[in-house]
């Protein structure tokens, strides 16, 4: 089957370098040590952090530092298509693992030997970019928990649809009947170090170089939104304290 090699207009009307509408909040789950909500278009991610707390069984403990555990899960009716089957799937386990790898480099858990920090990520609604939204929510939740971090990672998918480079692919673009490349990236905004890089599709080395350059601007934009979400929480706390006085 032959496809039109041009992609002149995005299916949702955005500019090629435009993000979907983003919203971020912290402190959304009262009983968690840290929590956050991150919305990217129609993809909604909630993250809750518990710990550091003692890790059991003891055979899993690290006597020199704490460990990070992440659990990614899509709610049964969150998907764009069929109902998601409850329980851990191979895909959920894979995304849980890469989320741990994306977040672990920024955490300093040396003060918490034999302990674990658990991060639970729930996707209430999905329209592509779920692992990136989950990482963004989890990074905010870890910061909200007061854990020592080198930076707040930000994540977004960039890619190529036929001839056109695009930022923040939506589901119709991922499923587009043409040549589609999808590349989720997590990056530390301050140093631009990459903590996650995955690729779905085939492309040339020049495409990879171009996408790694394109991703920097949206990463900075997402990081700014994350920082504003944290500032807004503590600004509201200060106002509440003044009212009580």
pLDDT above 70 coverage of the chain, percent: 89
> Do 137 and 45 meet the contact criterion of CB atoms below 8 Å apart?
yes
Task: Report the CATH number that the domain containing residue 173 is assigned in CATH.
Answer: 3.30.230.70
3-class state of residue 28 by DSSP:
coil
Residue 121 falls inside a structural domain: yes
Q: How far apart are CA 63 and CA 86, in angstroms?
A: 35
Residue 4 falls inside a structural domain: no
DSSP 42: T
> Do 141 and 119 meet the contact criterion of CB atoms below 8 Å apart?
yes
Phi, psi (degrees; rounded to nearest 5) at 196: -145, 130
Residue 70's nearest CA partner among 38, 39, 102, 22 is 102
Residue 78 falls inside a structural domain: yes
Residue 165 falls inside a structural domain: yes
The pLDDT assigned to 61 comes to: 85
Give the number of domains in the chain. Answer: 1
Please determine, for residue 232, whether its predicted confidence score (pLDDT) is greater than 60: yes
Nearest-5° Cα angle at 122, 121 to 126: 120
Q: How far apart are CA 172 and CA 229, in angstroms?
A: 29
Residue 5 falls inside a structural domain: no
For the chain, the average pLDDT equals 89
Domain extent, residue 221, equals: 22-244
- 27-63 tens-digit pLDDT: 999 999 999 999 999 999 999 999 999 989 888 888 9
What residues does 72 pair with on adjacent strands? 121
Give buried/exposed letters for 173-191 (b at 16+ CB in 10 A, else e).
bbebebebbbbbbbbbbee
> Do 166 and 183 meet the contact criterion of CB atoms below 8 Å apart?
no
Residue 7 falls inside a structural domain: no
pTM for the model stands at 0.89
pLDDT grade for 79, boundaries at 50, 70 and 90: low
What mean pLDDT comes out for the span 108-112? 92
DSSP 200: B
pLDDT above 90 coverage of the chain, percent: 68
What mean pLDDT comes out for the span 65-82? 81
- 159-190 tens-digit pLDDT: 999 889 999 999 989 888 888 889 999 999 99
Residue 11 falls inside a structural domain: no
DSSP 118: E
Please determine, for residue 83, whether its predicted confidence score (pLDDT) is greater than 90: no
Please determine, for residue 1, whether its predicted confidence score (pLDDT) is greater than 50: no
Residue 128 falls inside a structural domain: yes
Residues near 195 by beta carbon (within 8 Å), at least 6 away in sequence: 101, 102, 103, 105, 106, 153, 186, 187, 188
3-class state of residue 243 by DSSP:
helix
């Amino acid at each position: 089957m032959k496809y039109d090699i041009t992609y002149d207009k995005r299916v949702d009307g955005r500019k090629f370098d435009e993000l979907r509408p983003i919203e971020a909040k912290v402190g959304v789950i009262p009983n968690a040590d840290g929590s956050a909500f991150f919305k990217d278009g129609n993809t909604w991610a909630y993250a809750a952090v518990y710990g550091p707390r003692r890790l059991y069984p003891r055979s899993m403990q690290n006597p020199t530092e704490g460990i990070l555990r992440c659990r990614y899960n899509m709610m049964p009716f969150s998907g764009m298509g069929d109902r998601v089957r409850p329980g851990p799937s191979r895909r959920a386990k894979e995304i849980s693992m890469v989320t741990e790898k994306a977040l672990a480099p920024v955490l300093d858990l040396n003060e918490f030997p034999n302990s674990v920090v658990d991060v639970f990520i729930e996707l209430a609604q999905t329209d592509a970019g779920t692992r990136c939204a989950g990482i963004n929510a989890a990074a905010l939740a870890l910061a909200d928990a007061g854990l020592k971090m080198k930076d707040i990672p930000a994540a977004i998918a960039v890619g190529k649809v036929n001839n056109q480079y695009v930022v923040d692919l939506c589901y119709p673009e991922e499923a587009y009947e043409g040549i589609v490349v999808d590349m989720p990236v997590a990056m530390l905004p301050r140093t631009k170090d990459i903590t996650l890089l995955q690729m779905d599709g085939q492309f040339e080395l020049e495409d990879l170089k171009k996408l790694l350059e394109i991703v920097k601007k949206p990463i900075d934009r997402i990081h700014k939104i994350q920082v504003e979400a944290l500032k807004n929480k503590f600004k509201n706390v200060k106002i509440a304290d003044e009212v009580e006085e």
